Amino acid sequence: MTGFNAYLESLVQSMTVEKNTQHIIEIESVTAKGFGVGNIDGFTMFVDGALPGDRLKIHVLKSKSRYGFGKIIEILSPSPHRKESPCPVFDRCGGCQWQNCEYSAQLSFKKQIVIDALERIGGVKNPPVADVLGMLKPINYRNKAVFPIVPHDNEHGFAIGMFSARSHRIVEIENCNIQHPAHVAVLKVVKKYMRRNKISPYNENTHRGIMRFIMVRTSLSTKEIMVVLTINADKLHVEDKLAKDLEGAGATTVVISRNTSKNNLVLGSHFRVLSGSGFIRERIGHVTYQISAPSFFQINPVQTKALYETAVLQAGFKGCETVLDAHVGAGGVSLYAAKHAKKIIGVDIVQEAIDDGEKNAALNNITNMQFICGAAEEVVPKLISSCDSQSQLEIDSENIPDIVFLDPPRKGCDPALLNALISANIKKIVYISCDPATFARDVKILAEGGYVLETVQPVDMFPHTGKVEVTALLQKGGTE
């Protein structure tokens, strides 16, 4: 059962409401997916676009044994937090959910989402969740965007934009309040190129066509812009001319990612630099990060600094600690924390991320970091056990970490990783998460292994969406 499904199950009651019926409902709360939550005679309903305090007339789209989903037919009485959205495609685009909601209310909703997940899934009573750290200006904050290119019945035969929520219906966008302004200019160049050269979009049903995705990454500090074009081919027609046109729109590097597999992955496994360096650089506080196409990096540089500062404070460094970062990416929080620690070992499953991490350490003159490529659930148990001759590091007592950073993908940590940390009696774990449900699930496992959740600091990395990042401190046996 996924984290979100577990969350749904924890909310619902036992009655059933029939599909395609209409009802009056009052919205009481929201979920991390952006649904408003209410009930009809005890039956839990999740309603797209609804806010706490709304009184609505809804149509039931789907009804399961214990909960259902509905859409708004009429707002009978609006939430006091509701406002006019500045986005013309807000009700159709799946990029965000809450541009119709006052920002201060969004922050309070997100705090409650974290609390609910920890109580319902994690089994934590009165979880120590602080107020959410919000943005001063919560607009144009995304430094990365992915735009699918799909067949369409318009005059050009294709569309570029964002998928509508929970569907593959494309919504073309001319502007976006949460994306960096440079992203839209890139889309215009690619659209013009495809029309002029009759380049076909990829069809995920027939697996034919060339253009699949456009990924744009932008640096706030250096103003560098990376454009990655995912194609179902080895190369593009007049691709050098396309690269020059993209440079004219601000791109400092253009990369081709070949993905000829029959899947919906954004990036393939092969990358070719068409122009520029193949990477961009971003500065977070005192650290410069070099980021290549496949490397993970936080999408909101302003809030990333707040996140990393908080994580370092939670770790409580004294300068003599050995640190393990189980999901190090291109260096992430470990590079930021390196000046406070004696030694840091970083693990990541993506070789390109490890390569970037090593380059970033050198770029910042950081000499107390080592990197290992591999799955955390496989590498970490070996690192913190007695000895393994096949390991990429010499195993000794100095490699037993005093502090562990966990920053897993949305699915959370593998149980094998958590169990290894529990068995090794790691003193402190600083857990950074982008999903409250899987975070709460993992907290429960760690609590059963003797860890106490000391602090939880939510950070609004994703304004106008239901998503929220957290950084939390767990200590073995509690505060000393």
DSSP character for 7? H
Q: What whole-number distance in Å separates Cα of residue 170 and Cα of residue 202?
A: 13
412 torsion bin: left (phi>0), alpha (psi -120 to 50), beta (else): left
Q: What whole-number distance in Å separates Cα of residue 321 and Cα of residue 316?
A: 10
Coil/strand/helix, residue 376: helix
Give per-residue pLDDT as tens, 242-289.
999 999 999 999 999 999 999 888 999 899 999 999 999 999 999 999
Which structure tokens are listed for 223? 């103003």
Reported residue count of the chain is 480
Which structure tokens are listed for 247? 């440079």
Coil/strand/helix, residue 83: coil
Q: What whole-number distance in Å separates Cα of residue 79 and Cα of residue 28?
A: 10
Beta-bridged to residue 256, according to DSSP, are 229, 272
Q: Which fold has domain 117-135+300-476?
A: Rossmann fold (3.40.50)
* pLDDT at residue 4 tops 70: no
Q: What whole-number distance in Å separates Cα of residue 117 and Cα of residue 439?
A: 8
Residue 346, exposed/middle/buried by CB under 10 A (0-12, 13-18, 19+)?
Answer: buried
Instruction: Supply the CATH classification number for the domain 3-82.
Output: 2.40.50.140
* pLDDT at residue 328 tops 50: yes
Q: What whole-number distance in Å separates Cα of residue 310 and Cα of residue 315?
A: 9
Going by DSSP bridges, is the β-strand pair 67-77/211-218 parallel, antiparallel, or unpaired? unpaired
Q: Answer whether 117-135+300-476 and 144-283 agree in fold.
A: no
DSSP character for 391? S
* Residue range 350-363: mean pLDDT, rounded: 92
Q: How confident is the model at residue 220 (pLDDT cuts 50, 70, 90)?
A: very high
Give per-residue pLDDT as tens, 86-127.
888 887 887 888 999 999 999 999 999 999 999 999 999 999
Q: What whole-number distance in Å separates Cα of residue 351 and Cα of residue 361?
A: 15
Active site residue 101: no
Percent of the chain with pLDDT over 70: 93
Which structure tokens are listed for 181? 């302004």
Predicted pLDDT at 273: 96
Q: What whole-number distance in Å separates Cα of residue 321 and Cα of residue 331?
A: 18
Predicted pLDDT at 391: 45
Predicted pLDDT at 42: 87
Residue 230 · residue 263 · CB < 8 Å: no
How far from each other are the two terminal CA atoms of the chain, in whole angstroms?
A: 36
* Residue range 75-96: mean pLDDT, rounded: 89
Catalytic residue among 101, 176, 413, 434: 434
Predicted pLDDT at 163: 83
**Residue 465 corresponds to which amino acid?**
T
Mean pLDDT of the chain: 90
Beta-bridged to residue 134, according to DSSP, are none
Give the helix, strand, coil percentages of the chain, each rounded to 5.
Answer: 25, 30, 45
Coil/strand/helix, residue 74: strand
DSSP states of 402-447 as a string? Answer: SEEEE---TT---HHHHHHHHHTT-SEEEEEES-HHHHHHHHHHHH
The answer for residues whose C-beta is within 8 angstroms of residue 350's C-beta and 6 or more apart is 294, 295, 296, 329, 373
Matching residue, tokens 């932008």: 218
**Residue boundaries of the structural domains of the chain:** 3-82, 117-135+300-476, 144-283
Give per-residue pLDDT as tens, 380-439.
998 887 444 444 444 445 568 999 999 999 999 999 999 999 999 999 999 999 999 999
Instruction: Produce one character per residue of 120-149: b if its CB has 16 or more CB atoms within 10 Å, e if not.
Output: bbbebeebebeebbbbeebebbbbbbebbb
Which structure tokens are listed for 140? 């144009």
Q: Which fold has domain 144-283?
A: OB fold (Dihydrolipoamide Acetyltransferase, E2P) (2.40.50)
Find the helix or strand (DSSP H, E) in which 362 lies.
Answer: helix 351-363
